[in-house]
Amino acid sequence: DSGVTQTPKHLITATGQRVTLRCSPRSGDLSVYWYQQSLDQGLQFLIQYYNGEERAKGNILERFSAQQFPDLHSELNLSSLELGDSALYFCASSVGQGAGLLGEQYFGPGTRLTVT
Amino acid sequence: AQKVTQAQTEISVVEKEDVTLDCVYETRDTTYYLFWYKQPPSGELVFLIRRNSFDEQNEISGRYSWNFQKSTSSFNFTITASQVVDSAVYFCALSEVPIYNQGGKLIFGQGTELSVKP
């Protein structure tokens, strides 16, 4: 158990809908990262927050948005869902804001999103 | 641009065999970090190791060992005396050191699926 929690574990929804994925980082971790894992794209970085502020942005679609709250939990919002958004969405956390000092990223169990 | 290549898509071995998973990376930075993660059939990603670009010493942790060679841009992972529980997908990843708060995203390879048969 990494200490990172994600809810829900599974989510099935229809095209065009909007969903929210939630992540609670390990106690003491200030950075939260979101990644998407799909068969065709592999593991792709989406976005990172550090202590409430956006730190880095990857291949995140405009239909997707995220935020980190004062209690450090994070939410990833996916809207106007398409079939291709079906994937495993991981949240990771680390103490530091980069891969350097205190930069080990620990991953949650993931949320499996199925868009029908 | 950063890139990680794991050329071995699938490897199958018999229990107690040694197996090496290859990882080759590309980066223009002189300072960077390399990682290995394990993804068992249950789906979670388990952190195994982080190594910085200035430390080329090999590392051993139990049956696991890592060989980092900057000259060939490789960070290979060896499992000695493999066990059925080692069956998983293994990912190699690369991250640059953040400058001016640019963050620490991981660039993952495509993964190597290791199957250890009894």
Q: In chain B, which residues have their Cβ closer than 8 Å to the Cβ of A112?
A: 43
Mutate to test the interface with B, among A36, A107, A112 (most CBs of B within 10 A): A107
Span A102-113, pLDDT tens digits: 678 999 999 999
Q: What is the reported pLDDT for B104?
A: 78
The verdict on B7 touching A (C-beta cutoff 8 Å) is no
Span B41-60, pLDDT tens digits: 999 999 999 888 888 888 88
What phi, psi does A78 have (nearest 5°)?
-120, 120
State the smallest CA–CA distance between residue A82 and chain B in angstroms.
23
Nearest-angstrom CA–CA distance, A76 and A72: 13
Q: What is the reported pLDDT for B16?
A: 97
Q: Tell me the pLDDT of chain A averaged across its residues.
A: 93
User: Is pLDDT at A96 greater than 90 in this prediction?
Assistant: no
| pLDDT band for position B102 (cuts 50, 70, 90) | low
Q: What is the reported pLDDT for A101?
A: 67
Task: Determine the residue of chain A that is closest to B43 in CA distance.
Answer: A109
User: Is pLDDT at B29 greater than 70 in this prediction?
Assistant: yes
> A102, A94 in Cβ contact below 8 A?
yes
> B114, B11 in Cβ contact below 8 A?
yes
Q: What is the reported pLDDT for A69?
A: 97
Q: What is the reported pLDDT for B78?
A: 97
Nearest-angstrom CA–CA distance, A7 and A69: 16
Q: What is the reported pLDDT for B31?
A: 85
Span B55-67, pLDDT tens digits: 888 888 999 999 9
DSSP 3-state assignment of B70?
Answer: helix
Nearest-angstrom CA–CA distance, A7 and B85: 27
User: Is pLDDT at B101 greater than 60 in this prediction?
Assistant: no
| pLDDT band for position A19 (cuts 50, 70, 90) | very high
**Which DSSP letter does residue B86 get?**
G
| pLDDT band for position B98 (cuts 50, 70, 90) | low
Each residue of B71-103: b (16+ CB within 10 Å) or e?
eebbbbbbbeebeeebbbbbbbbbbbbbeeeeb
Q: Is B61 exposed, middle or buried (0-12, 13-18, 19+ CB in 10 A)?
A: exposed
- Other Cβ atoms closer than 10 A to A27: 8
Share of residues in chain A with pLDDT > 70 (%): 97
Cα separation values, A101 from B53, B55, B97, B104, Å = 13, 14, 9, 11
